[in-house]
Chains A and B, each alone.
Chain A
Amino acid sequence: MSRIEIREDRCKGCLLCTTVCPKEIIKQADRFNQHGYKPAEVPAGDMKKCTGCASCATICPDVAITVYKTKKKAKKGASHG
């Protein structure tokens, strides 16, 4: 399963990540973080839709998102990367 981690204490709630997710799974939380921003989050159950495309992390001005992608099954003779 591909997934993202949003560092809640780094998020400024600009919502740019919510506009680029192809699966539209990133939403704004109702709570405030320590800086007073309502952070982005992926509601429970939706993370399984993540494709690991890293669009959200690319557009995040605060580098608050880390992306993990499910490894492809290794093909015979395929070079890394």
Chain B
Amino acid sequence: MYQDEELVFSCPQVVADRPTHYCPGCHHGVAHRLVGELLEEMGLVEKTIMVTAIGCSVFLYNYLLVDAVEAPHGRAPAVATGVKRAKPDKFVFTYQGDGDLASIGMAEIMHCANRGERVSVVFVNNTVYGMTGGQMAPTTLIGQKTTTCPGGRCAEREGMPIKMAEIIASLGGSAYVARTALNNVKNINKTKKCLRKAFEVQTSGLGFGFVEVLSACPTNWKMSAIKANERIANEMIPYFPLGVFKDATADVTGEAAGKGEEGK
């Protein structure tokens, strides 16, 4: 480093210095970095117990250097409940995909949120089961082709894509619920702000925090990383509106009122 310059961006230390197994352009890497930066900035690294899930991010414990428990598919919110209740002074978060959270793990996430457990949930919604080869998820968009709906998802046959953020916000126990995206620099920075809030409602003892992060899976969408980011703006955000759906820390005129009004 030269004398007349300052370091303005580098990899957080809590993010392991090793290549990831993710595909080129996969947003899991961005989500990991944001979580890592926040754990460092909020002084939580030493007191974190992360509960990882099943999906492409199954090896998260190799990439974020914090204590971790690996939960069975979909069960991360139940495991996190146990961890937090046994060790209330720890910072506990789950990191789950949409196949994990909205399909096999639907019961666990609903009840965890409804009970208002003091945990935080990072929900990576990429509209497919990534790890197993791109099968349809509950979040797959109408018309989207996957290996298990090769003709495109059909509302009559498979129902409408599930909007998790709205559902979680409607439950009594949730304290902070937002939906963000990782498709451009502005939305990435906004995602970090929302994740910080979701973490803060836990550290301040307010309750359950949930951020749904619209993310790209270029491989199973069968498109380039650049096209995948465009798809988030053009197809995902119109159906899954960005915004803060619940914020127990804001007054009525505050940020919570901005629900669903975020642009692309």
Contacts and interface: CB of A to CB of B under 8 A. Distances in A.
**A and B from one complex:** yes
Interface of A: 1-3, 9-10, 12-16, 19-20, 35, 37, 52, 54-55, 57-63, 65-71
A62 to B, nearest CB: 5
Contacts of A66: 7, 9-11
A62 B20 contact: yes
Given A9-B19, A16-B229, A61-B22, A1 B5 contact: yes
A14 B25 contact: yes
Contacts of B10: 66-67
B5 A70 contact: yes
B11 A20 contact: no
B35 to A, nearest CB: 12
Nearest to B5: A68
* Residue from A16, A55, A61 having most chain B Cβ neighbours under 10 A: A61
A63 B20 CA distance: 10
Interface residues of B, number: 32
A5 to B, nearest CB: 9
B225 A69 contact: no
Interface of A is mostly: loop
* Residue from B8, B28, B184, B224 having most chain A Cβ neighbours under 10 A: B8
Given A15-B225, A16-B225, A57-B9, 8 more contacts: A2-B5, A12-B25, A59-B184, A60-B29, A61-B225, A63-B15, A68-B1, A70-B4
A54 B9 contact: yes
A69 B20 contact: no
Q: Which 8 A-B pairs have the closest CB atoms?
A: A61-B29, A14-B25, A12-B24, A67-B9, A14-B225, A14-B24, A57-B9, A54-B9
B4 A71 contact: yes
B226 A15 contact: yes
B241 to A, nearest CB: 22
Contacts of B231: none
B226 A16 contact: yes
B92 to A, nearest CB: 24
Nearest to A62: B29
A66 B8 CA distance: 8
Contacts of A59: 30, 184-185, 188
Interface string B206-236: 0000000000001000001110010000000
10 contacts: A12-B23, A13-B24, A16-B225, A20-B184, A35-B19, A54-B9, A59-B184, A62-B22, A67-B8, A67-B10
Interface string B180-200: 000011001100000000000
Contacts of A1: 5
A10 B7 CA distance: 19
B1 A55 contact: no
Contacts of B11: 63, 66
* Residue from A10, A14, A19 having most chain B Cβ neighbours under 10 A: A14
Contact of B24 (A19, A37, A63, A69): A37
Given A16-B229, A66-B9, A58 B28 contact: no
A76 B224 CA distance: 49
